[in-house]
Structure 1
Amino acid sequence: MRNRMIYQATLQTRSKQMGGALSKDLQKKYGKKSVRVIEGDSVTILRGEFKGVDGKISKISTQKTSVAIEGVKKEKTKGDKFDVYIHTSNLVVTSLNSSDKWRMAKLEGKDPSKHVKDVTTKKTTTEAKVEKEVKKEENEK
């Protein structure tokens, strides 16, 4: 039953399953053992053909629940190169992409809605109407 749930999961659920283990120093810094990987994170491959390779995540596939890493490619018989996707359980995250402010606030244990100023909130229709009326009154003066 468990395997069937994993393989038939929606893409939203699969996205949540794409966590990667943090390195020891990041574990001490953030107090967490794993994090959802995003593009730009630096990782080291722990298992498989490319064991020991370091690189940044270039692509993420939620359908395959795996990631493509810069510099990890295979060659076809015609000579074309293609990305090799590696499952996130075979990786360890060595440094984080800090461009996502929401993610960094969550890692540091803060409430992201209070600490992130880039996130825009939708206003209710009544608030929007009131703002329009105020702007009209200011323009008429």
Structure 2
Amino acid sequence: MVRVISSQPRKQRKARYNAPHHMRGSLLHAALSKELQGKYKRRSIRVIKGDTVKVLRGDHAGTEGLVDYVITRDARIVVDGVSVKKADGTEVPRPVDPSNVMITDLNLEDKRREQKLSGE
């Protein structure tokens, strides 16, 4: 996480927006469900494409879906089924902050991720 001494919201926000690329990954962590926490002995992990998440906050709270893609630059994720209607009636995906979701199922196609979780 970006270390900021100040507790002022404007400075916290500025630190997130101006965070270097190598620190943005820490802004993409989301909480694991209770079952996954017990299985992997971790509270949170970085969200990747293919994970199944449940939205906990906002207008789409309760919606569960696959992560379509991750926007590293903005520290947001796009979840299947979370969208808003434009004025002309077309649906566009609504990016969600990873802190507002809970991972319910992991995408373990990446062998390095699987090894890291198993502790080998």
Q: Same fold (TM over 0.5)?
A: yes
Counterpart of 2:84 in structure 1: which amino acid? K
* Match of residue 7 from structure 2: none
Q: Deviations over 1:72-106 (max 9, x none)?
A: 11111112211100100000000000101101100
Q: Following the alignment from structure 1 to structure 2, what is the Cα–Cα distance between the partners of residues 16 and 80?
A: 33
SS in structure 2 at match of 1:98: coil
Q: Deviations over 1:14-38 (max 9, x none)?
A: 1232101000000000000000000
* Match of residue 75 from structure 1: 85
Larger radius of gyration: 1
Gap runs ≥5 in structure 2: 5-11
Return the TM-score normalized by structure 1.
Answer: 0.74
* Match of residue 87 from structure 1: 97
Higher share in helix: 1
* Match of residue 8 from structure 2: none
Number of residue pairs matched? Answer: 110
SS in structure 1 at match of 2:79: strand
Alignment of 1:130-141 (within 5 A): none
SS in structure 2 at match of 1:27: helix
1:11 CA displacement: 2.2
Counterpart of 2:90 in structure 1: which amino acid? D
Higher share in strand: 2
* Match of residue 15 from structure 2: 5
Task: Select the structure with the greater relative contact order (CA < 8 A; seq sep ≥ 6).
Answer: 2
Q: Following the alignment from structure 1 to structure 2, what is the Cα–Cα distance between the partners of residues 83 and 77?
A: 14
Q: Following the alignment from structure 2 to structure 1, what is the Cα–Cα distance between the partners of residues 112 and 60?
A: 32
Alignment of 1:59-138 (within 5 A): 59-110=69-120
- Give the percent of matched residue pairs that are identical in Structure 1 and Structure 2: 35
Structure 1 segments (4+ residues) deviating >2 Å:
4-7
Return the TM-score normalized by structure 2.
Answer: 0.87
How large is the Cα RMSD of the aligned pairs?
Answer: 1.2
